[in-house]
Amino acid sequence: MNCLQNLLKEPPIVGSRSMRRPTPLNLAPGASTSGAESSAVEVEKSDVYSTNMTQAMGAALTYRHELGMNYNFIRPDLIVGSCLQSPLDVDKLRKIGVKTVFCLQQDSDLEDFDAFDLRLRLPAVVSKLHKLVNLNGGVTYIHCTAGLGRAPAVALAYMFWILGYSLNEGHQLLQSKRACFPKLEAIKLATADILTGLSRNCITLKWDNGSCSSVEISGLDVGWGQRIPLTYNEEKGAWLLETELPEGRYEYNYIVDGKWLCNENEQITKPNADGHVNNFIQVSRDGTSEEERELRERVTGPDPDLTDEERLMVREYLEQYVEG
């Protein structure tokens, strides 16, 4: 659905992929506030959103919804910005030549920060973006809520897969135009998934202490904002989680009786800048050929690029993609 369908009075701006019309950071529908109260509420919500974003992304980023729409030209034909807030924003975009508004807001704005969700959705989203750009031409405006996470990532994947940039080259250009934090690892893994296929592999995680009353895991493929409960196995005297994950490296922590802990019997990351460590698991697909392993290592490595043949394969995949 076109998230701006009620704001537009004429074509050609076309919105896409929105699940809801932009609202002032999810203020309750029908809520009545004075100008001062409304401003205070929006400032408070901006603070909460910025805090959540910083914690989830691992980077200090700030979004001020109360200051209105903000954006940057990444290329003459590509803009990344924050959500539109009024019909005046539509008029503003028309005046700078925007033909397509590509909306990436979700029912839960925290999904903007979920790298695993982004990895799985990128091919469908960039496919739709590519088709809309070909149809409409002109300037394209890509936004999520703040324009700092998901929107920059989609723009970067589009530059990498379609426009011919290497990933690092596109990332440097993006960062030179707009302070943001696209999830590079999600783009790398989505690229490998397109070229070698996406398969899920069974894993088992175990917490050996049977004397506790509850064990959960956060991280993995659900992100740090959610938890997966483990099941106690009386025969083994341990808490177990059996699940399926696509290839890749996943970090996680256990929450044992409400306390966040690492399992010393499983792999542990090196301490980050704050001294925190996590457990991690590297999931590999059974039966992968040496050629596929080398390809995945290259496109998920520190300086990924695509050969002409690989870029053609990705483009054909995106052009033929039909979302189920």
- Note the pLDDT of residue 7: 29
Q: Is pTM beyond 0.85 here?
A: no
- Note the pLDDT of residue 102: 96
List of the chain residues with pLDDT < 50: 1-14, 17-38, 41, 50, 53, 57, 108-112
Q: How many CB atoms lie within 10 A of CB 210?
A: 13
- Catalytic annotation present for 144: yes
Catalytic member of 103, 144, 212, 262: 144
- Note the pLDDT of residue 9: 33
- Note the pLDDT of residue 2: 38
Residue type at position 143: H
- Note the pLDDT of residue 21: 33
Q: Residues near 304 by Cβ (< 8 Å), separated by ≥ 6?
A: 166, 167, 168, 188, 191, 298
Which of 115, 294, 117, 120 has its CA nearest to residue 193?
120
- Over residues 226-272, the pLDDT tens digits come to 899 999 999 999 999 999 998 888 999 999 999 999 999 999 999 98
- Note the pLDDT of residue 3: 44
- Note the pLDDT of residue 46: 53
- Note the pLDDT of residue 200: 86
